[in-house]
Amino acid sequence: MTDDSKLKATGQTERGAERLLFLDTTLRDGEQSPGCTMHHEEKLRMAHQLAALGVDILEAGFPIASAGDFESVRAIAREVRGPRITGLARAKREDIETAARAVEAAASNRIHTFLSSSDIHLEHQMRISRQQALDQAGEAVRLSRSFVEDVEFSPMDATRTDPEFLLQMVMVAIEAGATTINIPDTVGYSLPEEYAAIFRMLKQRVPDSERITFSTHCHDDLGMAVANSLAGVQAGARQVECTINGIGERAGNAALEEIAAALMVRRDRFPLTSGIVMKQLYPTSQLLSEIVTFSCSPNKAVVGANAFAHESGIHQHGVLANPLTYEIMTPESVGVPASNIVLGKHSGRRALEHRLKDLGITLTRSDLDVLYRRFTELADRKKLIYEQDLLELLQTQQIALTES
């Protein structure tokens, strides 16, 4: 494999490019998705696979949530090497102290603490004033820094927060010692340009902003989690928070595999490196599907069953001539074994002939025409045509030819 092809396979760019950090929250935000609960051994197994995938930060759980979650986070911190291990904590002493104990054994660790910043949250959920929120945020970060050197702070519901107050809260967190500032689009409300504008504002108005890592955390309520995340990156964010298969609260989180693939395919717009091992994307997706007992949608980008499947005759003809006609990345580059030519009512002669050759069968043009006519008649009655169907059609055709 050439150096250039290695770069393509891993999603890396040329030397000297900035690095984009991937924080995977499959085991925390992802697990909060209905039906995605994982038991202790399952979380450990998934954590090891995420390390093999090359994520930079692994959000292992919410230690205060339960004794089981605490033990899982602590076990991951002890056993998983590679990623920085972080635990989530509300801006409360008990949460932070529990998270600190949970991640203590990690080779490198972080506490991720958060507090609501939008007026609707402060008034109706938290029932505190803006000033009380600022005080609480500062206290939480200072307490977290007394346990670890790396502290991330998230102003929850940031995209529905008054920009001036958001800036105030971010400044308080940084002054208290936060090293990463995350901007959560908690309810998936933002549009890409709006989301990017928040990062541009913070980069411009926070003193010495280059020493702070700004992070995206987007939900998919309007179907724009990945688009918003990429907009944030273009505006200066250098950490993205995401999950495998996009699992998460409600409509889910930004999908890690989609962000990683976008960086690989569109390096002209994202001259960044990452530690993601691209060929581990599909195996990681498959493992998660196995653990949570349901697969992602067939039309899911990058790792869905149909992501590299072609039924249309026009598309099949193009892909058989040159895969780049209808595939913007090779299936192998993301760990998928191969493209899939699906035989159905939209398929053309070229795809049928290709499948027959795979079966070791070569027909004359006239015999292929006869078989194709029979094939389309069957395809109008049946959703998919399998190899056994083709063999039966061939057998019938041979009988018909003999009788004639």
Yes or no: say if 256 and 244 are a contact pair by the CB < 8 Å rule. Answer: yes
Q: Which residues lie below 8 Å from residue 365, measured CB to CB, with a gap of 6+?
A: none
Distance, CA of 403 to CA of 127 (rounded, Å): 86
Q: Sign of the CA dihedral 282, 287, 290, 294?
A: negative
Task: At 361, list the tokens.
Answer: 């069968």
Task: At 186, list the tokens.
Answer: 């908690």
Yes or no: say if 17 and 275 are a contact pair by the CB < 8 Å rule. Answer: no
The pLDDT tens digits along the chain (404 residues) read: 333 333 333 334 455 789 999 999 999 999 988 889 899 999 999 999 999 999 999 999 999 999 999 999 999 999 999 999 999 999 999 999 999 999 999 999 999 999 999 999 999 999 999 999 999 999 999 999 999 999 999 999 999 999 999 999 999 999 999 999 999 999 999 999 999 999 999 999 999 999 999 999 999 999 999 999 999 999 999 999 999 999 999 999 999 999 999 999 999 999 999 999 999 999 999 999 999 988 899 899 999 988 887 666 677 777 777 877 878 898 899 998 877 767 777 888 888 888 788 788 889 988 888 888 888 888 888 877 777 788 888 887 765 555 54
Domains and CATH numbers, the chain: 17-292 (3.20.20.70), 309-403 (no CATH)
Distance, CA of 65 to CA of 76 (rounded, Å): 16
**Residues 388-395: contacts with CB under 8 Å, at least 24 apart:** 390/343, 390/352, 390/355, 390/356, 390/359, 391/359, 394/361
- Predicted TM-score (pTM) of this structure: 0.85
Distance, CA of 385 to CA of 342 (rounded, Å): 8
